[in-house]
Amino acid sequence: MSNPVVKNSQDFRMGVIGVGRMGQYHVNVLSALNTHNFVGVYDTDPETGKKVADQYSIINFETPEKLMEECDAVTIAVPTNLHYELAKKALEKGCHVLIEKPITETVEQAKELIDMARAANKVLQVGHVERFNGAVIELQKIVQNPIHIETKRLSPFTPRIKDVGVVMDMLIHDLDIVINLVKSPLKSFTAVGRKIISDHEDLATITLLFESGAIATLNASRVSQLKQRVLYAMQENSYVKLDYTTQDIEIHRQASTVNLITPEEIRYSTESFVENLYVHKDNPLKSEQMHFYNCIVNNEKPLVSNDMDLETLRITLDSLNMIMSNNPAYETP
């Protein structure tokens, strides 16, 4: 991909489509970076768009098309059912696209967008923000041959997300991280879940079996009384705990010692050691936006390939179909 001509930060123009909760996080990050000219936002609610635009002294555009025409790159942070339509329009208008996960509602839609981006020589990046968590970056260096992985992504109920359930909203993060951590083809998987409060699954568990023999169990709930986002990974000589929220990593190791009491008697004792790994902590969303910019302007290699985006989406959708089709407990009594 050839670099666009960027003489200074005012030459590269960026905008945000959708300024709900997640979109406003992107706006806050982009307004603080000096790598580009942040031109404006669009939202289906004109009052919300105006409020955000006024707060950051940028333009509130009347349509997404008008915003795209004034931008070299856009961030799309709208409900999932609008991803395909808006990303396609943005690519057609010559924009690079950072789109919140999941990329689209179907694998076919995702393939079409990826093919369009490749044909147009544009960057299409999916917002798997957890990949830019400092602890996750360090985890890739520590866990080389996992035997078992367990994740827990729990939170109390909030009506913030209405169009999808926990699989598309929460578990997709852990699926992306785990399948890239194991680095082995997926052999099989099972998924169960059910509705509790909303019209979609509010809790779910996915179990993955890889050809390497590694097993991963992914748990998510948005009706929990406990808020927790953790990953545990067991490998031959260590047990690793990652806390997404604090960006902390603990490495547990067990050392065996031999006490020779008499030539005939040998006693073994074990001691457990815990290493708290230093992690460089930064705002993951800021790192994600900087990576997007560098992929466009400085030809940086994407951290996550579009082919991997497709694989993650495929497993996510297949898991969701399994929950809805094969599990009677999915329906609320």
Domain residue limits, the chain: 9-127, 131-280+314-330
What does the pLDDT look like over 63-86, one tens digit per residue? 999 999 999 999 999 999 999 999
Average pLDDT over residues 109-121: 98
What does the pLDDT look like over 234-257, one tens digit per residue? 999 899 999 999 999 999 987 655
Position 260 scores a pLDDT of 54
What does the pLDDT look like over 119-148, one tens digit per residue? 999 999 999 899 999 999 999 999 999 999
Note whether 49 and 42 are within 8 A (CB).
yes
Alpha carbons 53 and 15: distance in angstroms, whole number: 11
Do domains 9-127 and 131-280+314-330 share one topology? The answer is no
**Beta-strand pair 248-262/96-100:** unpaired
- 333, two tokens: 């009594």
Position 332 scores a pLDDT of 36
Position 3 scores a pLDDT of 44
What does the pLDDT look like over 277-306, one tens digit per residue? 888 888 999 999 999 999 999 999 999 999
Note whether 41 and 16 are within 8 A (CB).
yes
- CATH code for the structural domain at 9-127: 3.40.50.720
Name residue 204's beta-bridge partners: 193, 220
- 167, two tokens: 């699989």
Q: Quick check: 8 pLDDT over 80? A: no
Provide the pLDDT confidence category of residue 325 given band limits of 50, 70 and 90: confident
Alpha carbons 107 and 93: distance in angstroms, whole number: 23
What does the pLDDT look like over 180-203, one tens digit per residue? 999 999 999 999 999 999 888 999
Provide the pLDDT confidence category of residue 261 given band limits of 50, 70 and 90: low
Provide the pLDDT confidence category of residue 329 given band limits of 50, 70 and 90: very low
Of the candidates 194, 215, 191, the one whose C-alpha atom is nearest the C-alpha of residue 203 is: 194
Of the candidates 212, 164, 198, 194, the one whose C-alpha atom is nearest the C-alpha of residue 316 is: 164
Provide the pLDDT confidence category of residue 327 given band limits of 50, 70 and 90: low
Alpha carbons 111 and 87: distance in angstroms, whole number: 12
Alpha carbons 132 and 281: distance in angstroms, whole number: 10
Provide the pLDDT confidence category of residue 46 given band limits of 50, 70 and 90: very high
Provide the pLDDT confidence category of residue 7 given band limits of 50, 70 and 90: very low
Position 11 scores a pLDDT of 87
Q: In the chain, pLDDT over 70 holds for what percent of residues? A: 89
Q: What is the mean pLDDT of the chain?
A: 90
Position 259 scores a pLDDT of 57
- CATH code for the structural domain at 131-280+314-330: 3.30.360.10
Of the candidates 174, 193, 183, 167, the one whose C-alpha atom is nearest the C-alpha of residue 130 is: 174
Provide the pLDDT confidence category of residue 319 given band limits of 50, 70 and 90: very high
Average pLDDT over residues 44-48: 96
Look at the chain and count its residues: 333
